[in-house]
Amino acid sequence: MLGTARKFVSSVVPAIVKPLRVLWNEIIGFFFIVLALLAIPSAYRSMSTFNGDIVGLGRIVLTAIFGLVMLAYGVYSFRRARRINKT
């Protein structure tokens, strides 16, 4: 009985875990891309009110870095989900 249960678990669990990992990576990728898109209005506001001071320039640079990092993590997460799905 224990052997049958072990065989069942060893065949069913990977079939359940793999789609859950793919779904997790896709959901996380979506949230990172949404965060990257939310940085666009802030960057636009910072650029429209930019008057040449260092604080305004720092705000623009930091917003751009934040948006690019979030976008990169989002794309990486979708690529990882695709790689998991292929195996």
In 3D, which of 20, 27, 64 has the Cα closest to residue 42? 64
pTM of the model: 0.84
Q: What is the pLDDT of residues 10-39, one digit of tens each?
A: 888 888 999 999 999 999 999 999 999 999
Question: What is the model's pLDDT at position 24?
Answer: 97
Question: What is the model's pLDDT at position 31?
Answer: 98
- Over 90: is that where the pLDDT of 8 sits? no
Q: Enumerate the domain spans of the chain.
A: 21-86
- Over 90: is that where the pLDDT of 4 sits? no
